[in-house]
Chains A and B, each alone.
Chain A
Amino acid sequence: MDTGGTPIETHPGGVVRGADRPARLVRLVTSPLALALPAAVYLGLFYFYPMAAILQASFARASGGAGGAGAAIVAVLESSATFKVIAFTFYEATLSTLITLAVGLPGAYLMARYRFRGQGLLRALTAVPFVLPTLVVAAGFNALLGPQGWVNLGLMSVFGLPAPPINFVNSLAAILAAHVFYNTTIVLRLVGDFWSHLDPRLPAAARVLGASRWRTAGEVTLPLLTPAIAAAALLVFIFDFTSFGVILVLGGPTFATLETEIYRQTVYAFNLPTAAVLALVQLGCTLGLTIVYTRLSRRVTVPQTLRAASETRRPLLCWRERLGAGLLVTLLAVLLITPMLALAVRSVTQPGRGNGPGAAASGFTVAYYQALSTNPSNSIFLVPPQAAVGNSLLIATTTVLLTLGFGLPTAWALAGRGDASRNNADRRRLADGLDALLMLPLGTSAVTLGLGFIVALNRPPLDLRASPVLLPLAHTLVALPFVVRSLVPALRSIRPRLRQAAVVLGASPARVWREVDLPLVGRAVLVAATFAFTISLGEFGATAVIARPESPTVPMAIYRFLSLPGALNYGQALALSTILMLVCTAGILAIERLRVADVGEF
């Protein structure tokens, strides 16, 4: 990726101006390769180098040297157990993705096309699941659907059943429900945002010309939306594909995916060669999917005139629309918000004697919240909640700045529009490659990368193994693909003529970016920032990086409480989870209030 000295021959838009030095410099630093350089260096240092180091160290441990490593690879790949694991991983990820799309797309339509009260809050709340630790989500689901959960107890008392009718714990249904709970926000945000900018005059024209409602949706709206849907589907799929906590905690021990197998082989069996082969298989799948996606998305992207969301949204007019919207909001609330509500309710409920959360609800209490700020055992690692929230917010803010700093220029380079130079095809290929590489960290097991940091970042100047900066750096790896995925479809859809016009009128590339691109994608920047914020807030990095226990993040503090027996500790974990949900909601609402370069006024 040596681009520092590459001169750029043609000016974007083909307009040649005086080759004075400042202009050359500007053109150089705004060339696609130069824009992608910071992200490439960052990925190289904090992803590829550690991954290469751990894979090499792992295979070096295979008995019998290089031949042994080869034999290990063959043995793992030939085993029917490996095949079963891969098959199940694809199965659960495909199923989860389809259900998530089925739930998310109608929601995205509602959010994109209509304006109604509470819309902003609903948007924010649907993103909160993203930050919740799996164990806490399991507790929420259990309070609702467990054998002693409210739904089962209710059904039993209404119909006089002797046993709980719904068997939810340790089932595939639990895995699917949790994946939908976690990932619907990706569809709502990526697709909903893009949809809200589609010019409503296109489908309107189709209707006027006599196309039915369905034909218009199928032949006009859907093709225009495909890039955003594909981007969302890819991210959701990869998240489900590499799901770890959900499989272990909600699915139970009978289910195994590549990710859980990698963890088991690494940590419990310490069979690093086998773990490395599985890690490579997982990476290969991620890479393959991303390449397929990149090809497809190039083919389906159509430049179009994006409109401000304020122009495309309208209030709900007739009773039919209101009813439909009401049903959709109810569906989203039941799927995404009730488990969180169950947690919040339990965090202020005094446990009574007897069995089941239903029986236990015997009174209101704030004891858990009060206990959070006391430290009766005087432990150095129990910090007051505001300190944990502060740590989390500091790391999340740093992650947002880092991801936008790396992501914005990268996305612009990847969108690769506007310059008609000779080597455009080469650049496009390079951009596709970088695009695929960006996705790899999502398909990487946290434990593998965590060990990679240990092996690779072990000497000055990069001895960061115990440094607190490793946390935002690691979170950025996960957030970057989301940021790029939110931005690229929006950037690609900008009509090149807009940019060309600006250039012809004498605008410098920087000014084109500032005054044409940024206002058009401002909304997408906010979506990207929200993703980075929530990813960082919820990431539980203990397996990925080495934690400094004196400054725990909120998820680390939650796990600390959950790992201790006693009602008070459990209550404090739920109380802290509720605080995390509130902080996340507030953070998202705050981000959405920001106005980037007069969004919505173009």
Chain B
Amino acid sequence: MKKLLIILIASLIATACAPSAPAGPRTLTVMTHDSFAVSDNVKATFESANNVTLQFIKSGDAGAALGKAILAKGQPLADVFYGVDNTFLSRALSEGIYEPYNSPILANISDAFKLDPSNSALPVDYGDVCLNYDKGYFSQHAIAPPTNLEDLAKPEYKDLVVTENPATSSTGLAFLLATVGHFGDPAYLDYWRSLRANGLLVVDGWDTAYSTDFSGSAGHGPRPIVVSYGSSPPFEVIGATQPLIDAPTAAIVSDGSCFRQIEFVGILKGTPNLDLAQKWVDFMLSPIFQADMPLQMYVFPVNSKAPLNDTFQKYLAIPAHPAVVNPADIAANRDRWIEAWTQAVLR
């Protein structure tokens, strides 16, 4: 163990004292939120094509990572920052942490995903926050599963729903935005009051809701309806302990019942590696990285040229018309909506 300590101390001294001598391949640093993942071979493809070593640093959930990027402005922690979603986008843009980049690959991406006209933040992937239900529960109890948001207020679904607190969970915030988009402001509050009266359970975050309280997951909790992702049912199949013929859960994707989260990448202002950073952004938008994302990060490609895995084709339900709230409205009202929600549902 002494040796290990010496190594640690040596590395401390090395990081502290040695001037960074750029010998051999250059290093490109990418800061991400905690959910980031990539395949070994996809990473290697980029590294060998550009004679570069990629270093990823995880900086907490999307909100915490953005906070760090903002506070490090001027002396950026990394060259590129991936992980801001459309609920945080306006904060990132107004803080001016990104260097705009008109990637040629944006041509293959639908305009519906391009929320920043300056191309400081470029869309990489999307996922839909939707209600999921446990198929087994509803067939056992011979009740029809709910099909839309309004159903949740009905007596047959009393005490069955678990959701996340929008003040501490991006999933919870996305679902709150779905209700704002669907019912409008302030009618969404009446909807939430009716859910509260119908025995809604609120927990701190997705992990707790899905793996502790939801009955359809491995946690075998008590509640058969949960706010999760449109992609969760296929992942119950892919991540099952034994091969399954059918997904044990399903997502509700009727019009206006989901909220689409879009995640963005941007080059951090002040990077000394602008050329490499641009190449990495191009790479993230290219089909090879985009096709890798679903199995790594459980999100879906924005690039229309990227192919989608068979299991997804079979079990993935993509909402045709998710609820829409534009980013400027989110920025202007997010705190007020959360506060009003807290008063209506928790106090």
Residues of A with Cβ closer than 8 Å to B? 54, 57, 135, 138-139, 142, 146-148, 169-170, 248-249, 252-254, 260, 263-264, 266-270, 350-351, 353-357, 359-360, 365, 367-368, 377-382, 394, 397-398, 401, 447, 450-451, 454-455, 458-469, 472, 542-543, 546-550, 559-560, 562-571
Contacts and interface: CB of A to CB of B under 8 A. Distances in A.
The main secondary structure of chain B at its interface with chain A is: mixed
Given A267-B67, A568-B239, A355 B137 contact: yes
Interface in B1-45: 1, 4-5, 8, 11-12, 15-17, 19, 29, 31, 34-41, 43
Given A357-B220, A378-B41, 6 more contacts: A54-B71, A135-B211, A264-B168, A354-B220, A451-B71, A568-B240
A559 to B, nearest CB: 7
Categorize the interface residue count of chain B: 35 or more
B60 interface: yes
Contacts of B58: 542, 546-549
Interface stretch (B113-121, B149-157, B199-207): B199-207
A24 to B, nearest CB: 29
A267 B63 contact: yes
Contacts, number: 228
A252 B202 CA distance: 7
A224 B71 CA distance: 50
A398 B8 contact: yes
B37 A566 contact: no
Contacts of B232: 565
Nearest to B249: A565
B167 A270 contact: no
Contact of A379 (B19, B296, B335): B296
B219 A570 contact: yes
A146 B71 contact: no
Among B58, B165, B229, B335, chain A packs the most CB atoms within 10 A around the CB of B58
Contacts of A146: 212, 221-222
A53 to B, nearest CB: 9
Contacts of B51: none
B167 A465 contact: no
A378 to B, nearest CB: 5
Contacts of A566: 218, 235-236, 238-240
A381 B37 contact: yes
A569 B5 contact: no
B307 interface: no
Among A468, A542, A570, chain B packs the most CB atoms within 10 A around the CB of A570
B230 to A, nearest CB: 12
Contact of A565 (B5, B213, B217, B338): B217
A368 B1 CA distance: 30
Nearest to B44: A380
Contacts of B347: 254
B136 A353 contact: yes
Nearest to A570: B218
B71 A57 contact: yes
Among B16, B34, B212, chain A packs the most CB atoms within 10 A around the CB of B212
Contact of B167 (A54, A249, A268, A469): A268
Contacts of B217: 565, 567, 570
Contacts of B254: none
A263 B213 CA distance: 24
A379 B44 CA distance: 12
Among B41, B56, B338, chain A packs the most CB atoms within 10 A around the CB of B56
A454 B11 contact: no
A524 to B, nearest CB: 22
B328 to A, nearest CB: 17
B61 interface: yes
A461 B221 contact: no
17 contacts: A135-B211, A252-B203, A253-B168, A253-B202, A267-B61, A270-B67, A355-B137, A378-B41, A381-B56, A447-B60, A450-B64, A451-B68, A542-B60, A546-B77, A565-B235, A566-B218, A568-B218
Contact of B11 (A270, A447, A467, A571): A467
A461 B8 contact: no
Contacts of B77: 454, 465-466, 546
Contacts of B17: 461
A148 B64 CA distance: 34
B39 A397 contact: no
B15 A469 contact: yes
Contacts of A170: 201, 203
B126 interface: no
Contacts of B203: 170, 249, 252-253
The 4 closest A-B pairs by CB, nearest first: A566-B239, A570-B218, A567-B218, A248-B204
